[in-house]
Amino acid sequence: MSLLKHLLVFILATSFATSYAQTTAEKKNAAVKSFNEAVKKIKAKDYKGAIPLYTKAIALKPDYKKAYYNRGMAEMKLKAYKEAIADFKKSTELDPKYAKAFMYLGYCQMLMKDYSNAITNLTKAIEIKPDYYKAYINRGTAYLKSKDYDNAVKDFTKIIDAKGKNIVKAYFNRGVAYQNMKKLDEAIADFDEVIKVKPEYGKVVLYRGKAHIGKKNYDKAIADFNTEIASNPKSTDAYYYLGFANLVKKDYPSAISALTKGLEVKPESKKLLGKRATAYFSNKDYKNAILDYDKIIAQKPKGKLYLNRGISKYLVKDYPNAIKDLEEAIKLKSKAGKAYYYIALAYNKQKKSSDACKNAKEAKKLGYKRADNLIKNVCK
């Protein structure tokens, strides 16, 4: 090849390299510009507006890890967790030491109830950055949600010992973990720490009240539930547990009052209706108990409900309908021995000795001890 040809090849190659470098630089500059425009949108909380700009930056610079990460953050803000997970995952692939990307990847997986993968990725964030307390609080929460209470306690304790930024949340969550472990003294101690600093935090007073119920400290529990209701008058849980505590104390009027107030907030609550029916029954107000059982059975028929309504109908002397309910309870396999016994009582009240005897014997077969005396009276 002649010198002239060599020179022409060199010039062309140099020209191409320069042109390519300029194109690459231009794309990089355009990507950065689009990224910066997206950041402005984020600062203005225009997350929807930011996403296309991050997408443009990624198209111009496919290895732009920060653009993937930031787009993931915007998607997370919009609760588009699947998309956020994909972007955070891409960030970690581009940079395996990107602790924040692993942390938010795990956080979004936790929100999607994928606790196993959440724990794995939050653990990676902690391995990269051992003092990453935000990752500890989220991993502890993932452990808590997956009912691994021992590991949850360890993570929350790490934050508490370090007096980290999330210490109030750590005390609360550790208290919940202890409560689920039936370590009620430890749970109450943690809830006390939260209440000292932030009494309105996460229904902590309600949780402490439930722990007091577990320890049978009903007066303390009642005080906590009343405090919760004062700050949150629409807390149906507080009304329910207030009713429950008063029911255990045999203060039936107070139990009925609390449960009725809860039902004013949530009229169709099976939980509240069921507990109020029990309170009415215990207070010997069988007619109102029946009305509550009617409402629950209309929503979801269950054998136990038919049994309780049947007994209530027996006690108000509605014997034919009592028998119907009790027979339905037997079909649904709910305490058949007890149901047969009350059917026998209802037949006996109607002076149908043969039917009474037959059902009393069925009750005895099933081990219902009270049937023995009834058999002596009706089986002659």
27 has a pLDDT exceeding 80: no
Q: Tens digits of per-residue pLDDT, 103-112?
A: 999 999 999 9
Q: How many residues does the chain have?
A: 380
Q: Does residue 70 surpass a pLDDT of 60?
A: yes
Half-sphere exposure of 303 (CA within 13 A, CB side): 12
**Model pLDDT, residue 21:** 44
Number of domains observed in the structure of the chain: 3
* Cα-Cα-Cα-Cα dihedral sign, residues 339, 344, 348, 352: positive
Whether 308 maps to a domain, the answer reads no
Domain of 361?
321-380
Task: Supply the pLDDT for residue 22.
Answer: 45
Q: Does residue 151 fall inside a structural domain?
A: no
The DSSP output letter for 202 is G
Q: How high is the mean pLDDT of the chain?
A: 92
Q: Is residue 59 part of a domain?
A: yes
Q: Tokens standing for 376?
A: 């002596």
Which of 177, 173, 171 is CA-nearest to residue 194? 171
230-243 burial: b if 16+ Cβ within 10 Å, else e: eeeeebbbbbbbbb
pLDDT of amino acid 300: 87
Residues 158-178, mean pLDDT to the nearest whole number: 94
Instruction: Note the pLDDT of residue 11.
Output: 53
Give a yes or no: residue 45 inside a domain.
Answer: yes
The CA–CA distances, whole Å, from 51 to 27, 29, 84, 91, 123 equal: 19, 18, 11, 15, 28
Last residue of a domain, one of 11, 46, 79: 79
Write the burial class of residue 249 (CB in 10 Å: 0-12 exposed, 13-18 middle, 19+ buried).
middle
State the maximum Cα–Cα separation within the chain, in Å, rounded to a whole number. Answer: 131
Q: What CATH number does residue 271 fall under?
A: 1.25.40.10
Residue 57 belongs to a domain: yes
pLDDT for position 291: 97
Give the tens place of pLDDT for each residue, 241-264.
999 999 999 999 999 999 999 999
Q: Among 22-31, 50-59, 87-96, 355-364, whose mean pLDDT is lowest?
A: 22-31
326 and 291 housed in the same domain: no
Q: What pLDDT shows up at residue 29?
A: 85
Query: What distances in angstroms separate CA 2 from CA 7, 9, 12, 37, 244, one per listed residue?
Result: 9, 11, 16, 52, 101
The label of the residue with tokens 């016994």 reads: 341
Average pLDDT over residues 369-374: 91
- 186 or 163, which is more confident? 186
User: What percent of the chain is modeled with pLDDT above 70?
Assistant: 94
Same domain flag for 289 and 328: no
pLDDT, tens digit, 9 for 90 and up, residues 110-126: 999 999 999 999 999 99
